[in-house]
Amino acid sequence: MERFGKPLPSGAPTVVAFARHPLHPMLVTFPIAFLLGGFATDLAYWYSEDPFWARVSLWLIGAGAFMGILAGIAGTVELLWVKEIRRRPASWNHFVLAVMLLATASINWVLRYEDPVGSIVPRGLALSGLGAALVGAAGWLGGKLVFEHQIAVEQENEHDTDPLNLADHSDR
Ligand code: HEM
């Protein structure tokens, strides 16, 4: 039980990476942009009743769900593989919200596939709004993993912490 009382040291390595750059942060940019864009185009359809916006929404939400699932696979491999990530409650909070987001986006796409125009008001719009809120919440918690817990941030070694030697004031 003692381990539950100990704060976890900050920092965790990445295992799903390209040339040492973690893939998950590269991939999440797509669902974030596509799903927020899908909410905006649903609002544009609601306002203008132009079916063009309904077709754009269908593509954005489908692409957002697809890219989100790819990003989720990369994130899940990190979560299950890396002990320092797995043991943090913050990682599981992010995971739960991300899975809710992916389920909402997928359902939103499936329900509007047959009738992209007629299914927007009110159900599609409500699901896109919920998706946008979940993007914000999941993205915020993902950011905490990186900026507060230093997950997938390369740890500098002792000798590299001051590469420009700024702390050396001997010549001033
Ligand atoms: C479904 C399972 C998911 C898991 C298990 C997961 C896990 C993780 C992990 C472990 C990190 C730390 C960085 C890393 O190791 O690469 C992270 C960061 C992040 N995640 Fe996820 N994630 C998932 C899905 C998503 C989705 C769908 C989004 C889209 C909103 C998202 C948004 C973010 C953001 C914005 C960061 C911070 C990236 C940065 O600032 O560099 N994640 N996630």
Ligand 1 pocket check for 13: Cβ under 6 Å = no
Model-level pTM? 0.89
162 Cα: distance to centroid of ligand 1 (angstroms): 29
Probe target for ligand 1 pocket from 8, 28, 83, 104, with the most ligand atoms within 8 Å of CB: 28
* pLDDT tens by residue, 31-40: 999 999 999 9
Look at residue 156 and give its three-state secondary structure. Answer: coil
Query: Mean pLDDT in the chain?
Result: 91
Higher-pLDDT residue of 5 and 12 is: 12
For position 162, what pLDDT does the model report?
A: 55
pLDDT digits (tens, 9 = 90+) for 91-144: 999 999 999 999 999 999 999 999 999 999 999 999 999 999 999 999 999 999
Amino acid present at 95: F
Q: Which atom of ligand 1 is nearest to the CA of 25?
A: 38
- The protein residue with its alpha carbon nearest to ligand 1, atom 41, reads 25
CB 154 within 8 A of CB 11: no
Question: How far is the C-alpha of 159 from the C-alpha of 147, rounded, in Å?
Answer: 22
CA 37 to chain centroid, in Å, comes to 15
